[in-house]
Amino acid sequence: MGATAAGLLTILALVGVLALVYRPLGDYMAGVLTSTRHSKVETLGYRVIGVDPEGRQSARGYALSVVGFSVVSLVVLFAILVGQSVLPFSRGLPGMPWDMALNTAVSFVTNTNWQSYAGESTLGWTAQMAGLAVQNFVSAAVGIAVAIALVRAFTRRRNDDLGNFWVDLVRINLRILLPLALVSALVLVGLGAVQSFAPDRVVDTVLGGQQTLTFGPVASQEAIKELGTNGGGFFNANSAHPFENPTALSNLIEIFLLLLIPVCLTRTFGTMIGSRKHGYAVLGAMTFLWGAMLTVALVSEVGGHGDSARAAGAAMEGKETQLGTWASTLFAISTTGTSTGAVNSAHDSFTPVGGGAAMLNMMFGEVSPGGVGAGLYGFLIVAVLAVFVAGLMVGRTPEFLGKKIGTTEMTYVALYTLASPALVLIGVGVAIAMPSSADAMGNVGGHGFSEVVYAYTSAANNNGSAFGGITVTSTFFQLTLAAAMLLGRFVPILLVLRLAGSLARQGTVPTTAGTLPTHTVQFAALTVGVIALVAGLTFFPTLSLGPIAEALS
């Protein structure tokens, strides 16, 4: 079978399996997040942490719980990383330097999983499991919880009740993430992913040298890193490493896992608001963006642009040969579209257009289909903006899902829309102005500039992937990227919850003949247009200095 036919069949298989699980998983998650019953295990957990599961929280209370939990998580993970040498199963490794530990702790708590270190040579098993893997679960749950709080706001009537963050956090982990991660880990083990506590082994290579093989609880972390759109790998090579991603089938399963929850949450959204057509409209718009970026990247990568690429038949530099260009490009666009950040190839080695497509995917705001939870609430924010734009065009007060969009709501939407781009552009400007940045770049000219832009775009949008040519181990990059990740996560979350509180306190506006339908193809197209327009106006000058200039050179 030719590479093109195999690539197209892979994409069709991925879309087909997602379609099969879309309805049952989406409705199951809606049931979990609307149920009034608590299991015995959950009730015990509430008693341990001193939470009343029947209590309800306003937007302010929900936000305080999110921030408080995240601050405690950050402190605990930082302590684990700097003090790992005294922990069991440390593999004899020292603690992380404070700046790297802070960067890493912020990274995993914000669901970014940016890694400025090589996991196999830096972290022991306790730090990997009790530190990073735990945050892979709970940071993903935080994102889903915030999205559901916003969805509930559209169903409330003059009632500032967004639910209970602690109940949402526990249920999402116990009833959704843990079961799915367990099954996924077993599947990956069956396909050859490593799950072992064996000591490091030195082996002879075919060229007569020696190589150290590191083992550990890899498959369990691999499953939740994809499922929770986290992305941090056990190994420095991430999902290009055969211990993490051993076969073409495991590669397809990992892409499926990172798309699974973001896609199915659109069904959950439609079910919870009582209009599944709205869920389909959101899914359609997300799918269009994903498909458009995938097409652009595939044409560039598979087309073999450049002398070496034409000689090889495709752009194979930086790609795992057993996976090939099609599977690597599909992974790259899916991981940058879901704020996952896991990689099975070197994005730095992509063609200028292919790498630019991955970068633009993040600049869209991670909404195609976005990270778990973050993609849904990010898209709903843009949908509110699209409603406002449409209202200006027809001269009537904008409404969305029965809620009027006034000055207060648009203030939160505008600030949300500006937050991540501001962090990216300020970060890039400061970094480029630093004399030491030239030494950090692995390349000169437009590609070196792209490495810096990609780094801050990835951090501020909580993606975590990188153009690996840039060296970010200096204290400057550790701290500035940590700041971008922290602000890029919690400023939008706080604005989403403020918006949710404002919407929940409203009554419901009855649907009339003049109400703009927001479940149609036309509205989905309008929302896509707004996403593209905002990203284009914000980032086109920056892209012109990086991937566009490189592509035209």
Across the chain, mean pLDDT equals 92
Which pLDDT belongs to residue 319?
A: 83
With beta carbons less than 8 A apart as the criterion, state whether 452 and 436 touch: no
Q: How confident is the model at residue 481 (pLDDT cuts 50, 70, 90)?
A: very high
pLDDT at 397: 76
Tell me the per-residue pLDDT of 400-428, one tens digit each, with 9 for 90 and over: 999 999 999 999 999 999 999 999 999 99
Per-residue model confidence as pLDDT tens digits over 211-234: 888 999 999 999 999 999 999 889
Confidence of residue 100 (pLDDT cuts 50, 70, 90): very high
Share of the chain above pLDDT 90, in %: 78
User: Under a CB-based contact definition with an 8 Å cutoff, are residues 77 and 305 in contact?
Assistant: no
Quick one: pLDDT at residue 317?
Answer: 75
| Per-residue model confidence (pLDDT) at position 471 | 86
pLDDT at residue 406, as a whole number: 92
Buried b (16+ CB within 10 A) or exposed e, 19-52: eeebeebbbbbbebbeeeebeeebeebbeeeebe
Q: Can you give the pLDDT at residue 316?
A: 73
pLDDT tens-digit series, residues 137-186: 999 999 999 999 999 999 999 988 999 999 999 999 999 999 999 999 99
Task: Give the pLDDT band of residue 309 (cuts 50, 70, 90).
Answer: low
Instruction: Go through the chain and tell me how many residues it has.
Output: 553
pLDDT at res. 515? 80
* pLDDT at res. 57: 96
The DSSP string of 33-51 is: HH-----HHHHHHHHHHT-
- How far apart CA 380 and CA 304 sit, in angstroms, is 38
pLDDT band at 373 (very low <50, low <70, confident <90, very high): very high
What pLDDT is stored for residue 514 in this prediction?
73
- Please check the confidence at residue 544 and state whether its pLDDT lies above 70: yes
Name the residue ranges covered by the structural domains of the chain: 371-552
Tell me whether residue 207 is exposed, middle or buried, using C-beta atoms within 10 angstroms of its C-beta: 0 to 12, 13 to 18, 19 or more.
exposed
pLDDT at 304 over 70: no
Q: Where does 1-118 have alpha helices with state H? A: 3-34, 40-49, 59-82, 98-109
Report field, pTM of the whole predicted structure over 0.85: yes
Mean pLDDT on 103-112: 96
pLDDT of residue 553: 79
Q: pLDDT tens digits, residue range 428-460? A: 999 998 877 767 777 778 888 999 999 999 999
Average pLDDT estimate for 351-364: 94
